[in-house]
Amino acid sequence: EFVGDLHATRLNEIGIFLFTQHRGMGYGSQALRMFMCRHRPLFAQPAVRVAKWLAHIAPGNEHGKMFFLKAKFNKVQETFQYG
């Protein structure tokens, strides 16, 4: 059964989406662990990417923030938008 999606970009960004009925069941944590065991971040390129996995979390997505903090990700920035 399809429960959601995990994707990674060439900028070493990870995104996870789970359908509502499958959240809180450990699928996201399991998918993230399996992904990170099998894949390493791409090498660093100055002004392009760091050699670490990143997760961009939308403002107000407290569940997403807690998920990645629990997975031992560190908060490294806040982003501001003009206009």
- Mean pLDDT by 10-residue block, N- to C-terminus, for the chain (83 residues)? 96 96 96 97 97 94 95 92 89
Query: What is the model's pLDDT at position 7?
Result: 96
CA angle at residue 77 from 25 to 48, to 5 degrees?
Answer: 100
Q: Residue 52 and residue 43: Cα distance in Å, rounded?
A: 8
Closest by CA to 71, choosing from 63, 82, 60, 79, is 63
